Amino acid sequence: MIPFYIETYGCQMNVSDSEVVTRILTDNGYRPCSRMEDARLLFVNTCSIRENAEKRVMNRLDHFGRLKKKDPLLKVGVLGCMATRLKEQLLNHPAVDWVVGPDSYRYLPGMLDSRAAAPVRVQLSLSETYADIKPYREKEPGVTSFVTIMRGCDNMCAYCIVPYVRGRERSRDPESIEAEVKSLLQEGFREVTLLGQNVNSYRWESGLVTFAGLLDRVARISPLLRIRYTTSHPKDMQDDVLHVMARYPNICKHIHLPVQSGSNAVLDKMNRKYTREEYLERINSIRTILPGCGISTDLIAGFCSETEEDHLQTLRLMEEARFDQAFMFQYSQRPNTLAARHYPDNIPSATKTRRLKEIITLQNRLSLASNRADVGNEFEVLVEGVSKRSAEDYFGRTGTGKVCVFPKKTSVIGDYVTIRITSCTAATLKGEII
């Protein structure tokens, strides 16, 4: 059995895809290994969301090229979004033997076995969801896992390359989703995150099953299994999902709701299809139906032609929304997107850097205030692992999505424990088991 190793870059979706690839290969006589040094086949599962992610992969391929000079029998394959976007460039890289896009993983065994097979397969599909493939997980059961419920995206946000590299939106059969979640529960997993580029647009059989209906079905599988989901689009997040979340204690009260900008002019140019007022109405609905719900977001600094007033409107929206956490980035133009075709990337790098710094500084203050408000409160936390800072501590997350660190005592990984929060930083809650 030929040993292989997969390096995964980017989002949780790529982690899930790597598990699908691993299953396809193991079912066809290949053996996964935990150390790259032991592998004869190396795969890198790539992300094209930001330029830095692609640069990291290209640097890694240069390293693989040096390894191949020492060991000519070593083979390398590039998977995922970069395979779709840069197929010709990747095929010409001296390290690369195969280039396989995110909808072509079923073809991998044939490509690896046949010298006559084409080294590239990147066609996007209107139907592929890998619903019949059980993702490969390690023999030792983990605590948390991901279940992909849909693939692709139809939103065409101006800055985003996803529709071009992962294809059109298509939802997965809810029966297969339920079966995978039940299997994870039987294997000992305690928390599942439902994944999609825009989960709120999940539809099966012309809307017979919506995301609210799917969430309800998954929550009923077991009260002992925590359910999370990501990502939501503000234009599609409706109250029916919030009411389902309120109904089930095992659905974590945390919503990731990317806003990207607080300026209506910028939101319109981004093709986000909502206004700042409509976004804040969604925030109000969340806080009304789900009091205490954690809310996180994404923010982009320096989008095309963003004015200083646009930037200030983003800061004001942050103050009003009071996000618990945020992922914050400078705008990075991606080739062939709507923005790259129609809008100049005309904000100076120094201005982008300064605006991003101001966003980060404000969010750190908001996060610290949010965490300080939790000091003295008690939360149920799933023990996920050992803290990186101290072998004497565990870490886990509250239902509201906050990381919490606490002394181990007699608990073990996989336990639900009640934690009283005793202190905090802007990034982390600290507490003790009671």
- Rounded to an integer, the average pLDDT of 362-390 is 97
Dihedral (Cα; 126, 127, 128, 129), 10-degree rounding: 120
Confidence of residue 324 (pLDDT cuts 50, 70, 90): very high
Q: With residue 383 as reference, give the H or E element that holds it.
A: strand 378-386
- Rounded to an integer, the average pLDDT of 322-331 is 97
- Rounded to an integer, the average pLDDT of 271-295 is 98
Confidence of residue 377 (pLDDT cuts 50, 70, 90): very high
Given this model, what pLDDT does residue 117 score?
73
Given this model, what pLDDT does residue 304 score?
98
**pLDDT for 140 beyond 70:** no
pLDDT in tens, 160-217: 999 999 999 999 999 999 999 999 999 999 999 999 999 999 999 878 999 999 999 9
Whether the CA torsion 258, 260, 263, 268 is positive or negative: it is negative
CB neighbours (10 Å) of residue 241? 25
* Count of positions (residues) in the chain: 434
Confidence of residue 141 (pLDDT cuts 50, 70, 90): low
Give the global pTM: 0.95
Rg of the chain, C-alpha, whole Å: 22
Given this model, what pLDDT does residue 323 score?
98
Given this model, what pLDDT does residue 116 score?
67
384 neighbors 412 (Cβ within 8 angstroms): no
Given this model, what pLDDT does residue 205 score?
87
- Rounded to an integer, the average pLDDT of 409-431 is 97
pLDDT in tens, 348-363: 999 999 999 999 999 9
Confidence of residue 138 (pLDDT cuts 50, 70, 90): confident
Helix axes 174-186, 211-219, angle to 10 degrees: 30
pLDDT in tens, 58-112: 999 999 999 999 999 999 999 999 999 999 999 999 999 999 999 999 999 999 9
- Rounded to an integer, the average pLDDT of 279-285 is 98
Token pair 């995922």: residue:
80
Whether the CA torsion 177, 178, 180, 184 is positive or negative: it is positive
Q: Going from the N-terminus, what domains does the chain have, and what CATH number goes with each?
A: 2-121 (3.40.50.12160), 144-372 (3.80.30.20), 378-433 (2.40.50.140)
- Rounded to an integer, the average pLDDT of 367-390 is 97
Distance CA 26, CA 5 (A): 12
Structure-token pair, residue 295: 């809310």
